[in-house]
Structure 1
Amino acid sequence: MSLHLFCLFNTLFFFKRCPIFMEPQNLTGVSEFFLMGLSDDLELQPLLFGLFLSMYLVTVLGNLLIILAVSSDPHLYTPMYFFLSNLSLADIGFSTTTIPKMLLNIQTHSRSITYADCLTQVSFFFLFGCLDNLLLAVMAYDRFVAICHPLHYPVIMNPCLCGFLVLVSFFSSLLDSQIHCLMVSQLTFCTSVEIHHFFCDAPQLLHLACSDTSINTILMYFMGAIFGGIPLSGILCSYTQIVSSIMRIPSTGGKYKAFSTCGSHLSVVCLFYGTGLGVYLSSSVSPYPRKGAVASVMYTVVTPMLNPFIYGLRNKDIKRALWGIISRTD
């Protein structure tokens, strides 16, 4: 918990240094944007509100239960569950960045978002999205050490290294978000302020800008290659070694037991990168930007909601800890 508070303090400190939290320097003449959402049909708005409110509540409740289970059961004070609790915290932040604003706009029949709020949303979106990405890579390394070097696992994955890996992931994500914050804050916008999305999407802001965005586009791809490609490469390398080690186990039961320890993580990795890649491909081939917004629901809303179910339903330790909490409250 102290690590979470430390990270939160540093987040607020760094965000105050972001241009959107300094004296207003918006020279674009744009004071607000308009989030066009997922649909213009007024009859669908109550359905969308109920659907996304339910999904958001399930996401927050499910991930909070994971954090509660890990923090309340001493048997779960292990590196794997430490990383899992941090992943759950990042998922809560990732969903909270986008969904509440969309729900507020639907409820108030408004589509506006201020310039400062839009940039703030961009910053936190990249912060928690990148943190999710890096934590999945850290968890893959944890599974690699557990399966490929089981005798040295307690020595290698010691508490100091685990805390260091989470802090590095956090500050790397913070750096990524601040670079995007600075990049978007330097854009000049003219008259078109309609964002065909349910949140402030940085690539769409680049399309709306009337200034030269070639450097910004190159920088965005460069940052994506570093903070997206490197963790994904680490995950692939880890699982290549894991599969190689598992195949050398003589018994079928031993292979199943070894693979079951990383089955939940592998499911989350496939879901996270699969939906993200699907959104990227669909937005690149589709001429309609709103279809990309609908596809983005998969990795911004659905994936954080399903993560607790994947880990909770497949993990006996989590279920035992939750039943222990319920029995103590009776």
Structure 2
Amino acid sequence: MFTYGFLNLIEIIQIEKGYKMGSNLFDSEIKNLEALTKSGAFGSESQNLLKKRGEISTQEFIYLSFCSIYDDPNFDYETLPYIIDFMDLFREGQSTNPQAMVDIITASMVGDKNNLQLETMSSYTRFLTEHQILKNNLSEMSKERSVDPLKRIELANAILHDYSNGFEYCMKLFTFIIAIARVVNGKEYDLQIIDKQPSSNKLNLFRQIDGGKHNLLVDGWDDRIRNADSHASIVYNPQTCLFEGKNNHYQKTDTGKIRRVEEFTITPVELLTKVIPRVGRFIHGYLGASYLLYLVNADREYYDKAVVILKELSK
């Protein structure tokens, strides 16, 4: 349900702004994600809601999409601090410059008129689909008494790619999160300039402009894994049952930069239970807060009902 709610929010933005934005890649990913949702790839709940799309109001649809995350018996309570932090940041931006907030949130989904490549839909779709495939494969593997060594390595690589995909998507979102923080502080922003920064720079930029108010959003990111995976410098060792990697990075010195190589290990359990879930919590927090930002302007009644759900979860 959450997946198609995201698609619907994009559709609303395009209609209300009176034009359609998006690159060819964006348009194709929209169609792919909608087709997957219709097929039931993301669950029957999302599939069934899609069938009712023409029978309920847009506001109710967005509200139900929000409920699919936050009013769910299997809700991950560690997601709650993320949406609270994002809501706080969005609220500050809304009170400072409402139009800038609309423009930034819109651009974070469908791109900017001056740079369609800022769209994040392709990254979102890749993360979502490959994450679902990984979940399905892990579920199937858990039913087997013994697993072929090559199958274990294949799944281990899929786990690595899952984190890398999620990390990259989150870092793309930071382009817009930094822009919102600049709006809050009365500063101008340039999405294209921010977007060109590497992930480490983006995290530092947000820390500087935010002043430590939303440290949850920037602390705890493990870019060693993403960096090692992108350079094919991490492998799963079936003998030790560990991921063994090398993190190639540059460190500033008084005379310039020097290249460092840091060896590290991490267990599959740590990746699956600590590192990867943080990605999902961050994404759900951002998109959930985006739903609330829409509802607070479009339908106060549904917004208030959504806030009640969050308050109940906070008890």
Give the structure-2-normalised TM-score. 0.39
Report which structure shows greater RCO (CA 8 Å, sep ≥6): 1
Instruction: Answer 1 or 2: which has greater strand percent.
Output: 2
